[in-house]
Amino acid sequence: MVKILIVDDAPDSAETLATLLRAAGHEVTCVTNGRQALASVLADLPDVVLLDMHMPEMDGPSFLEVVRSYLRLQSLPVVVLTGLPDSPMVDRVQHLKVNSVLVKGKASPDEIRQALEEAAVRAPG
């Protein structure tokens, strides 16, 4: 079982993916913005984060910059899921040690699950 935090401002798609991940035996929490994600990560460290880039209050890159500023979170596995793979935001997160970048609508639920599982397994610890 992998403990997964999904950060996406589209609750319907996040819950659909969460249902599939739970069916695969994983523990899943969903939040809708980077501020909620930061509070969640600090309160209950997940094994891996699935991070959307474009969100209100705190976007994906800003969340990741804050997370990486914490020594204990520098190696937290993060998989980015974005609808805009050529966005400058994706360029911004590349240097912040993301495990992979997947494209919404192109990556299948199985590919997303596999990327999350692989990122969690490769995490130092």
The answer to whether residues 42 and 17 touch, using CB atoms and an 8 Å cutoff, is no
For range 101-106, the mean pLDDT: 88
> How many residues in total does the chain contain?
125
Q: What is the pLDDT of residues 47-101, one digit of tens each?
A: 999 999 888 888 888 999 999 999 999 999 999 988 776 666 666 667 778 899 8
Residue of 103, 35, 26, 83 whose CA lies nearest to 63: 35
| Predicted local distance difference test score (pLDDT) of residue 88 | 66
| Predicted local distance difference test score (pLDDT) of residue 87 | 66
For residues 108 and 58, what is the distance between their CA atoms, to the nearest angstrom? 26
* Residue 125 pLDDT level (bands cut at 50, 70, 90): very low
Q: What is the pLDDT of residues 8-50, one digit of tens each?
A: 999 898 999 999 999 999 999 999 999 999 999 999 999 999 9
DSSP state, 83?
S
| Predicted local distance difference test score (pLDDT) of residue 90 | 63
Contacts for 76 with CB less than 8 Å, ≥ 6 apart: 41, 45, 46, 48, 49, 67, 123
pTM of the model: 0.92
